[in-house]
Amino acid sequence: MLTINLFNGLVYGTLLIVMCSGLALIYGLRRVVNFAHGSLYMLGAYIGYSVAAHADFWVALFVAPAVMAAIGVVLDRYGFRLLQDRDPLTVVLVTFGLLLVIEDFVQTVWGKSNLSLATPDALNFAVNLFGTQVPAYRIGVIVVGAAVALGLSLWLRFSRYGLFVRAASTDPTTTSMQGVNTDALSAGVVGLGTALAGLAGVVSAPFMSLSPSMSADVIIDSFVVVVIGGLGSLAGAFIAAMVLGMVQAVGAVYLPDASVLLPFVLMVAILIWRPAGFAGSRT
Amino acid sequence: MTALLKVDRINAFYGAAHILHNLSLEVRAGERVALIGRNGVGKTTVVNTLLGLARLGEGQIRFRDSEIRKPRPYLAAQHSIVVVPQGRRIIANLTVEENLVLGAATGRKGPWTVPEIYKLFPILQERAHTPGTALSGGQQQMLAVGRALMANPSLILLDEPTEGLAPVIVDQLATIFNRVADQGTALLLIEQNMSLVVRVAHRYLAMAKGAVVASGEVNNSRDGLKDLEAHIMV
């Protein structure tokens, strides 16, 4: 029982990594707390569902994030760029409004009923893990999450554009003064962040049913992760996602009645201990 | 000689505050120009206007042959004009070497590379992998100058580069500025330290109340120094 719950916690943690990477990147560069990120995840899942219905899951795995990346670029140009110097309340209201618009759009196009996406045949089998049978697909989810975490870390650490992103997340004006077009850079990063939300949506679709309320469940946990990790910190978000996934998994076994509260208890405890989160700076 | 920077009767604003009034200046290839004036006359606003950080009203800005209608911070660097900003503005989460590499963002090739910067400022090589903001004030200024050189620019705008630095560091920087200028890079030195101005600049523009009110050749003598100091006396 504990093994399978820990395994599921690991799966959920890696899904949160994919989801929160985008949230952390967007906040890091644009200083926009994007309440619509969960609905972008949902939209990615639904687009993936439709693409899979007409082609197959593997095509959806690439097409849905690509479509979401394009949406992200438009969102940055006509939304986040205009919001970046506004007061936080305006940002919250606009991104919350966007959340409602996307939810309504999803209901209009795909309806209110729950939908499900079949597990791809290539991963539709069980694997023995320490004497417990676990679905191979979920191992695939862990691989995707690990690849995203590793890929993003290496890109930020060693690539030229990764350097620009790290610099611009600290001082966009000085970075721009070196010749970096930070508006174009931000559009690219918001596109990437939105694509990752879409990727998380497609990846989660075969084991979480699709519904217009699916964004609410994951966005709350995502914000807990981003706050615990330290706003804008990718490394902090990775650690926090895994901690949250495990806390939920263990809580489901030993404190089933209080498991819903555990993420918030964890957040309060960590913020008392480290007010800026695991890796944030207190500014 | 080509005008690398030409500013023609610009007016600039911070919000409703009108800071620059029909200000004109020009820096040609290889020139060493000083922009001098008391605190608050608008020297830094000139830089900020070129970067789009102060609102440009009437007037024209040209980087080389291009008219810049809507200045943005990256446009100057993309036209081979870089700024060593007041306060240095070293990127805190990058190492010394990463700050230098960031300076080469435009990808323009030229004599200045990381090893060349290390030859110019050996202390930066010793501290290459420490955070840029962990350096002393003088070392941070060296890093800011090195970062600007990494762009292999035609013109460097130095905004109060010796502010708050010890005289020995100021001497080192003056030598470096002359060496850079000797290699053909034009300098626009915004300064209140007139002893530095007479050591580096060949021509000066004196500002008062948001406009250039006097200009001339820099006379590298005691009388010349006194003349320049008169422009910054309260």
How do residues B5-25 score in pLDDT, each as one tens digit? 999 999 999 999 999 999 999
Separation between Cα atoms, residue B91 and residue B144, nearest integer Å: 10
Separation between Cα atoms, residue B37 and residue B40, nearest integer Å: 8
Q: Which of B119, B140, B145, B121 is nearest to B130 (CA)?
A: B140
Whole-number average pLDDT of chain B: 92
Q: How far is CA A188 from CA A34, A43, A194, B153, in A?
A: 16, 19, 10, 27
For residue B109, pLDDT over 90 is answered with: yes
The two beta strands, B32-36 and B203-208, are parallel
Q: B32-44+79-232 maps to which CATH number?
A: 3.40.50.300
Are the Cβ atoms of B82 and A170 closer than 8 angstroms?
no
Q: Which residue has the tokens 């918030």?
A: A264
Condensed to tens digits (0 to 9), the pLDDT of residues A56-72 reads 999 999 999 999 999 99
CB neighbour class for A207 (10 Å; exposed up to 12, middle 13-18, buried from 19): middle
Are the Cβ atoms of A166 and B77 closer than 8 angstroms?
no
- Tell me, yes or no, if B94 comes closer than 8 A to chain A by beta carbon: yes
Q: Which of B221, B71, B78, B89 is nearest to B160 (CA)?
A: B89
Condensed to tens digits (0 to 9), the pLDDT of residues B158-195 reads 999 988 888 999 999 999 999 999 999 999 999 988 88
Which of B89, B106, B151 has its CB closest to that of A174? Answer: B89
- Tell me, yes or no, if B213 comes closer than 8 A to chain A by beta carbon: no
Which of B74, B91, B98 has its CB closest to that of A179? Answer: B74
Residues from chain A that touch B157, judged by Cβ atoms under 8 A, are none
| Percent of chain B residues past pLDDT 70, beyond the cut | 99
The answer to whether B63 touches B75, Cβ cutoff 8 Å, is: yes
Condensed to tens digits (0 to 9), the pLDDT of residues B39-70 reads 889 999 999 999 999 999 999 999 998 999 99
A232, part of any domain: yes
The answer to whether B193 touches B167, Cβ cutoff 8 Å, is: no
Which tokens belong to B227?
């003349």
The answer to whether A228 touches A240, Cβ cutoff 8 Å, is: yes
Are the Cβ atoms of B91 and A175 closer than 8 angstroms?
yes
Could you tell me the residue ranges of all domains in chain B? 32-44+79-232
A281, part of any domain: no
Condensed to tens digits (0 to 9), the pLDDT of residues A69-99 reads 999 999 999 988 888 778 888 888 999 999 9
Residue A42: pLDDT band (50, 70, 90) is very high
Residue A282: pLDDT band (50, 70, 90) is very low
Whole domain around residue A54: which residue ranges? 2-273
Separation between Cα atoms, residue A142 and residue A150, nearest integer Å: 12
- Interface A-B, measured as beta-carbon pairs within 8 A, has a size of 68
A135, part of any domain: yes
A278, part of any domain: no
Q: Which residue of B has its CA nearest to A178?
A: B103
The answer to whether A95 touches A89, Cβ cutoff 8 Å, is: no
Residues from chain B that touch A183, judged by Cβ atoms under 8 A, are 72
Are the Cβ atoms of B92 and A171 closer than 8 angstroms?
yes
Which residues have a Cβ under 8 Å from the Cβ of A132 and sit 6 or more positions away? A3, A4, A7
Residues from chain A that touch B85, judged by Cβ atoms under 8 A, are 174, 177
CATH number at residue A205: 1.10.3470
Give the model's pLDDT for residue A84.
Answer: 77
Q: Letter for the amino acid at B14?
A: Y
Residues from chain A that touch B92, judged by Cβ atoms under 8 A, are 170-171
Q: How far is B77 from chain A (nearest CA, A)?
A: 5
A143, part of any domain: yes
For chain A, the residues whose C-beta falls within 8 A of a C-beta of chain B are 160, 163-164, 166-167, 169-171, 173-183
Q: How far is A281 from chain B (nearest CA, A)?
A: 11
The answer to whether B153 touches B185, Cβ cutoff 8 Å, is: yes
CB atoms within 10 A of CB A133: 10
Three-state secondary-structure class, residue B162: coil
In total, how many domains does chain A have? 1
For residue B234, pLDDT over 60 is answered with: no
Write a three-state SS string for chain A. Answer: CHHHHHHHHHHHHHHHHHHHHHHHHHHHHHCCCCCCHHHHHHHHHHHHHHHHHHCCHHHHHHHHHHHHHHHHHHHHHHHHHHHCCCCHHHHHHHHHHHHHHHHHHHHHHHCCCCECCCCCHHHCCEEEECCEEEEHHHHHHHHHHHHHHHHHHHHHHHCHHHHHHHHHHHCHHHHHHCCCCHHHHHHHHHHHHHHHHHHHHHHHCCCCCECCCHHHHHHHHHHHHHHHHCCCCHHHHHHHHHHHHHHHHHHHHHCHHHCCCHHHHHHHHHHHHCCCCCCCCCC
The answer to whether A232 touches A26, Cβ cutoff 8 Å, is: no
Interface-testing mutation among A174, A233, A234, A282, with chain B (most B C-beta atoms within 10 A): A174
CB atoms within 10 A of CB A272: 8
Which residues have a Cβ under 8 Å from the Cβ of A277 and sit 6 or more positions away? A227, A228, A229, A230, A231, A233, A236, A240, A270, A271
Give the model's pLDDT for residue A283.
Answer: 41
